[in-house]
Structure 1
């Protein structure tokens, strides 16, 4: 990703995608303009992970200690998370048909970019190699752990989740937010499937404000009868 890395304090409004891996993709904002990467360090990645509520706090505490003891290793682990994030974004974009002819159907676009597929595959293989097969509620799954993945725990866990997303995403409900300086991805879980914005409180209201301003400006420019 070519763009700027900028510190950002993550809040609940940054987790609107409907899937953890898409929330990871959305740690880059303004993809439609000048991309800004909000993961400015491994501690920020841990901050984001804690906010999601998807990870054991004790595991995150262990990772923080490991990162403090090995900052260079933590930086490399963050780079791998970023690489996974960008490969997933590229692959999801292709699957949505964003760069395809208008008649392309969601989830049935052209060939997926080989380089992105290879990167996601490589991350998945590394994750499985370090993971354990568990059975919970009668369902087997690969599960990453800090004890085997160490600083790459988040990269491995997210890679396993990325495969599940790519395999079973409801593609007819995956959307790009059309807001200015946004480009976030999200799954539309509304009853009627009419969600357009990542959030009405941000992009939606901004768009409404711009529309109102244009209408007011155009009306003011009309000659009086």
Structure 2
């Protein structure tokens, strides 16, 4: 099961799908870190890539670092990463293709996705759940892009109840 499917989420559009999957490897209160160890990370890679790279301990550390960088970017914090990509422009169509191998390919592929998503305007719709204990990445398909919870019934409801009780707390 893909990281996104385990939360019952709609997949992001193609230009953000790999990025969303990588973000959703983070641990939550209900699920383990899919990049916790080599075996778990290899299983995750095998689910999302047709020909997953051979993952080493250094590659695993690179994936965790990339996930952290992507989380900062989605939150709107300054962050940067690089990846080897080839940009091809043919008439009206532009294409960004990763040129690296191994986990460097994954870094380049997510760099290309971020670039394309920013160019197409879909980037602001990739969000992290506002619940601080729930780093689930979701794609906001609402008309005005105003969603803040990956699931209102779980994360949103608990936060809304806490806010309500806080506002209506009586003293005495």
Q: TM-score range by the shorter chain?
A: 0.5 to 0.7
2:149 to 197, 217, 220: 197
1:38 to 30, 34, 40: 34
TM-score, normalised to structure 2, is 0.63
TM-score, normalised to structure 1, is 0.51
Structure 1 or 2, whichever has the larger Rg, is 1
User: Is the aligned partner of 1:211 residue 2:161?
Assistant: yes
**CA, structure 1 residues 163+76, in 2 after alignment: closer, same or farther (shift >3 Å)?**
farther
What do the CA deviations read for 1:121-142 (whole angstroms, capped 9, x no partner)?
xx22xx22xxx55679973423
Structure 2: distance between partners of 1:77 and 1:43: 13
Structure 2: distance between partners of 1:43 and 1:138: 43
User: Tell me, what secondary structure is at the counterpart of 1:39?
Assistant: coil
Q: CA deviation at 1:28?
A: 1.8
Q: CA RMSD for the aligned pairs?
A: 4.0
Structure 2: any 5+ residue segments left out of the alignment?
A: none
**CA, structure 1 residues 141+85, in 2 after alignment: closer, same or farther (shift >3 Å)?**
same
1:82 to 53, 56, 64: 64
Between structures 1 and 2, the one with greater helix share: 1
What do the CA deviations read for 1:3-28 (whole angstroms, capped 9, x no partner)?
xxxxxx94613473623213322322
**CA, structure 1 residues 186+154, in 2 after alignment: closer, same or farther (shift >3 Å)?**
same
Q: CA deviation at 1:81?
A: 1.9
What do the CA deviations read for 1:79-134 (whole angstroms, capped 9, x no partner)?
22222221222233235xxxxxxxxxxxxxxxx3xxx22xx1xx22xx22xxx556
User: Is the aligned partner of 1:22 residue 2:20?
Assistant: yes
User: Tell me, what secondary structure is at the counterpart of 1:179?
Assistant: coil
User: Tell me, what secondary structure is at the counterpart of 2:95?
Assistant: strand
**CA, structure 1 residues 150+195, in 2 after alignment: closer, same or farther (shift >3 Å)?**
closer
User: Is the aligned partner of 1:179 residue 2:131?
Assistant: yes
Structure 1: any 5+ residue segments left out of the alignment?
A: 1-8, 68-73, 96-111, 219-225
Structure 1: distance between partners of 2:8 and 2:44: 9
1:47 to 32, 43, 46: 43
Is contact 1:29–1:37 with CA below 8 Å preserved after alignment? yes
Partner of 2:73: 91
Q: CA deviation at 1:161?
A: 1.8
Count residues in correspondence.
158
Partner of 1:141: 95
